[in-house]
Structure 1
């Protein structure tokens, strides 16, 4: 075989090798760490713990734009955010910020590889086939006839495209359902933490204990409720991201002995839930009312189990891998099928941008599903925990009668304490002065 033929074959093999390497995981490069404003650091944790967390960080040394962007997807919308979300220029903004998209940036290697394949095909066929000059005249390539031009019929790609659509649709829909279930679990946590603390505050028998004891019991109830959801958040988060912040928060808000007992537990949410159950049992009230509060705590355990199932059980790996392989091979070979249909453009040059955008959007669907499949590191769980803490501590501060409403005992007579109705000399009911 002449030397130039060998060179051409070697060039083709090198292109295929580079294309396959682009889809392999990278082990080098820099990584933009999660900003300190997103993940808190602790000065109360020992150096050995910090070193352990740093050493266990699986992102160290990996160039993963998608992983670095996950903390920034923990959005909590306000009314102003919704106004911007519905703005009439949203399409324009989304188009001009295409290159800033975390999805686009995380797919750079894959999209660049498929685009290079398209460029390689155009170059190859211009060398071994015909090409047009800038005036539109057709000329023989410098090595025309030495090797055949590369192309494939479009029919096979058309036949399998519905299958790719079904695979991608199923994967994206299933991933979204997983995210939706995780968000609903945390929504249930938010709802029932408020419900539990509200019931504890309303059912508490203040006549049986001192005001100091009542304040201590209800404060403990609120803190134990928060400690469970915070332990659940840590349980569902990577150790290298949340361990130090978790220990710092727990030591700041809980008694040291209680916090260290949670740290030492093999399953921290279980320990926190046990502490919450004991806090409920210490409340002076009828056992029927305690049972009602315990039912709210049982819902936390259900939410925890559902979340653990999502974290430990991905979409079956053989399905995800087959979809990724199918899509990768289809996009790598698609330029060969588009060679003839795009033949009206100058030297088939339209093939390159057309395949570039096809790769972005099809790989993007698969990337969206992958990002949604594990939902907890893109959910604003820290924001949820902070809200739960603020709301629970506020609810237990609501003293009976503090709003001026009368407070009656079970027998229908006014109970002692703030807000008790007073009867004036004329026999009329009056509220006490504050």
Structure 2
């Protein structure tokens, strides 16, 4: 990715927009937000005054080691892992895995700097005490000024790090809850479609399932551009649908619009349509909330001040501790730097949560549950019809049987005259791709059948 960045600002991944300084206007600095990386790495980045995220800009690109290692933070626990997490030997095990810690590896440059300063102070003072230095070289430790600075600012540094970490965790927790809500709402909208769509609208139910999964995976790629949309959805969407989604400027929004078109194409009550639209509104809320977290970090003035303060504090620490620790100042200061820089690194990692959340696992769960609901709906209706608990119109029974690959289920009610089915519902929603790239039903499929009925009767027990 080739773009200028603001002084002191570091990009945290390929999906983050680059920032470039603009000319001063009336004494204030105006920021011009740049679009994401173009498909051609050498192509110039176009200006994006609105600051909106574009799915076209999120491309798979090589990452530095520190960024590529973020995927190892995506931990999903099950019962055996929780048992290991509560192990009484966990402290000993974690101690021996410090060299493999990605937090320590990412903070290693800062830790190495403190170790180098400590080594310099220890070597200088050892030469000074042994008379190995020429006359006129001053003693740099013990230094009362450095000791006073360290002791009087320790509380302030602790408060800065605590606030930094808590704020970052809050952002991570908010993103996790939004994706958890997306999982629940995806299940719910598929349940509503399976229940509220007429039984002969089998193709509409399948289209709803496909596009619900497509939205979740498009949203994941929008914030984790590690894979392509084609590889994620080639087994989910039809070729025409996949081509339409791939060339969309904002793929999650296009997927939501497709779901909305499918809901509107099915003849059902306005109450049911409104209830399903509430889930689409939640999809929009999740999309907007995730974009807000990505585009609006913790105020950079606070982040930079904390980093500068921590760096200065750790640099002066060896000068303050040599009089007490002697040559032991090297391991002592290096250990303190590892702890404090590790805390700061954790805050940095959690501040942008999408690189460390297991979004692919959530998408897999959404796909499995949505497809299971679609299959279970047909199986359940067949079982209930055979048990005489519900009655299906002949055309609906044939559509369900054809979709399920089984013979026609029983449709004669429950034997007591209360569940007789009538009508021959013949409206099947056929989703077509129109020239304007919208998902709409065909004209024939949009006509509701005046005779289509589904009567439910419960036999007394």
Larger CA deviation: 281-290 vs 117-126: 281-290
Q: What corresponds to 2:131 in structure 1?
A: 141
Q: What corresponds to 2:255 in structure 1?
A: 272
In structure 2, C-alpha distance between the alignment counterparts of 1:83 and 1:203, rounded to whole Å: 42
In structure 2, C-alpha distance between the alignment counterparts of 1:337 and 1:407, rounded to whole Å: 85
Q: What corresponds to 2:158 in structure 1?
A: 165
Q: CA deviation at 1:407?
A: 7.5
Contact 1:401 1:407 in 2 (8 A): no
CA offsets per residue over residues 41-70 of structure 1, 9 Å max, x none?
xxxxxxx969889x976655xxx4431211
Q: What corresponds to 1:389 in structure 2?
A: 367
Q: What corresponds to 1:294 in structure 2?
A: 277
Contact 1:224 1:279 in 2 (8 A): no
For residues 110 and 407 of structure 1, do their structure 2 counterparts lie closer, same or farther at Cα, with a shift above 3 Å needed? Answer: farther
Superposed CA RMSD in Å reads 2.9
Q: What corresponds to 1:350 in structure 2?
A: 328
In structure 1, C-alpha distance between the alignment counterparts of 2:392 and 2:383, rounded to whole Å: 15
In structure 2, C-alpha distance between the alignment counterparts of 1:389 and 1:107, rounded to whole Å: 37
Q: What corresponds to 2:415 in structure 1?
A: 423
Q: CA deviation at 1:107?
A: 1.6
Q: What corresponds to 1:281 in structure 2?
A: 264
Secondary structure at 1:88 match in 2: coil
For residues 338 and 225 of structure 1, do their structure 2 counterparts lie closer, same or farther at Cα, with a shift above 3 Å needed? Answer: same
Contact 2:39 2:59 in 1 (8 A): no
Q: CA deviation at 1:403?
A: 4.4
For residues 82 and 50 of structure 1, do their structure 2 counterparts lie closer, same or farther at Cα, with a shift above 3 Å needed? Answer: farther
Q: What corresponds to 2:322 in structure 1?
A: 339
Secondary structure at 2:297 match in 1: coil
Q: CA deviation at 1:341?
A: 2.5
Q: What corresponds to 1:228 in structure 2?
A: 215
State the TM-score, normalizing by the size of structure 2: 0.71
In structure 1, C-alpha distance between the alignment counterparts of 2:41 and 2:167, rounded to whole Å: 37
Q: What corresponds to 1:35 in structure 2?
A: none
Long gaps (5+) in structure 1:
1-23, 27-47, 131-139, 343-347
Q: CA deviation at 1:150?
A: 0.8
Give the number of the structure with larger relative contact order, counting CA–CA contacts within 8 Å between residues 6 or more apart.
1
Q: Does 2:310 align with 1:319?
A: no
Long gaps (5+) in structure 2:
1-7, 11-37, 43-55, 398-408, 418-456
Q: CA deviation at 1:119?
A: 0.8
In structure 2, C-alpha distance between the alignment counterparts of 1:121 and 1:320, rounded to whole Å: 29
CA offsets per residue over residues 20-45 of structure 1, 9 Å max, x none?
xxxx999xxxxxxxxxxxxxxxxxxx
State the TM-score, normalizing by the size of structure 1: 0.75
In structure 1, C-alpha distance between the alignment counterparts of 2:263 and 2:75, rounded to whole Å: 33
In structure 1, C-alpha distance between the alignment counterparts of 2:93 and 2:132, rounded to whole Å: 45
In structure 1, C-alpha distance between the alignment counterparts of 2:301 and 2:68, rounded to whole Å: 26
In structure 1, C-alpha distance between the alignment counterparts of 2:60 and 2:206, rounded to whole Å: 36
In structure 2, C-alpha distance between the alignment counterparts of 1:200 and 1:293, rounded to whole Å: 8
Choose between structure 1 and 2: higher helix proportion. 1
Q: How many residues align?
A: 352
Secondary structure at 2:263 match in 1: helix
Secondary structure at 1:253 match in 2: coil
Secondary structure at 2:224 match in 1: coil
1:393-408 to structure 2, matched below 5 A, reads 393-397=371-375, 398-399=377-378, 400-404=380-384
Q: What corresponds to 1:108 in structure 2?
A: 108
In structure 1, C-alpha distance between the alignment counterparts of 2:308 and 2:39, rounded to whole Å: 40
For residues 263 and 162 of structure 1, do their structure 2 counterparts lie closer, same or farther at Cα, with a shift above 3 Å needed? Answer: same
In structure 2, C-alpha distance between the alignment counterparts of 1:319 and 1:65, rounded to whole Å: 26
In structure 2, C-alpha distance between the alignment counterparts of 1:272 and 1:56, rounded to whole Å: 19
In structure 2, C-alpha distance between the alignment counterparts of 1:193 and 1:404, rounded to whole Å: 25
